[in-house]
Amino acid sequence: MNEFIVTLIFIVLLVSGVYFYAGYLTRTGKVEDADGNFIPDSWEEKFGWFFNAKGLIMLVLGLVLGYFLGNSFPL
């Protein structure tokens, strides 16, 4: 069970890092962002589904992580 929680935490950090890095690249002007949504245009063409489902992905990961942490460390 602990291995699963560690894996979930790693996935949450990885996905959050991708979203943060996309925003960082566009804010600093290192990549082009024509529509101003803080997602590089080159990434948007290839991985548009990933950025369109950002809220849903983070919600599901948060719920799953919270559920397993709650079961592992009950009050």
CB 14 within 8 A of CB 8: no
What pLDDT was estimated at residue 29?
92
Go through the chain and tell me how many residues it has: 75
* Calpha distance 61→54 (Å, rounded): 11
Containing 12, the helix (H) or strand (E) segment is helix 2-28
pLDDT for 3-43, tens place per residue?
888 999 999 999 999 999 999 999 999 999 999 899 999 99
